[in-house]
Structure 1
Amino acid sequence: MIGKIATGEVEDERDEVKSAAAQLGSLGGRKRAESMTPERRAEIAKKAAAKRWSNGA
């Protein structure tokens, strides 16, 4: 079935509905960010950027 969808023989008819857990997960990060101070968010972002750029590049 996957092959037929990929080649265009069959149309993918599944619903693009997220599971309940996925819907709640997408809200979690936003709620967490709202509860933090701008300074704390900046601290986390700087740490993530440093980690991202320090990996052998």
Structure 2
Amino acid sequence: MTTKPPKRPRDPNQLAKLVVDIATGEGQDAHDSDKIPMAILGKAGGERGGRARADRLTPERRREIALLAARSRWKDHGSDDSNK
């Protein structure tokens, strides 16, 4: 479960300083500092993995996988005419 980002300061002066720090790169990015380095690497691998797998598959195998997915997706939707 992801954590919420920290709230913005209510004081306008503190908010202005935060904005300037972020704009100049001096502020810490709370999202990356809280994450575990291996989790960041795993996420990057997952983003690349799907595309690499698709590139390795033959068109016939991709079609088989797509048909299985479509059947699974639509299996609960009967072919009855009650939705007309």
In the alignment, what sits opposite 1:29?
50
How big is the shift at 1:14?
A: 2.8
TM-score when scaled to structure 1? 0.66
Q: Which has the larger radius of gyration?
A: 2
1:15 aligns with 2:31: yes
| Structure 2: gaps spanning 5 or more residues | 9-28, 78-84
1:47 to 56, 61, 68: 68
Amino acid at match of 1:31: A
Root mean square deviation of aligned Cα: 2.5
TM-score when scaled to structure 2? 0.47
| Structure 1: gaps spanning 5 or more residues | none
Distance in 2 between the 1:46 and 1:29 partners?
Answer: 18
Q: How many residues align?
A: 49
3-state SS of 1:15 partner: helix
Question: Which structure has more RCO (C-alpha within 8 Å, separation ≥ 6)?
Answer: 2
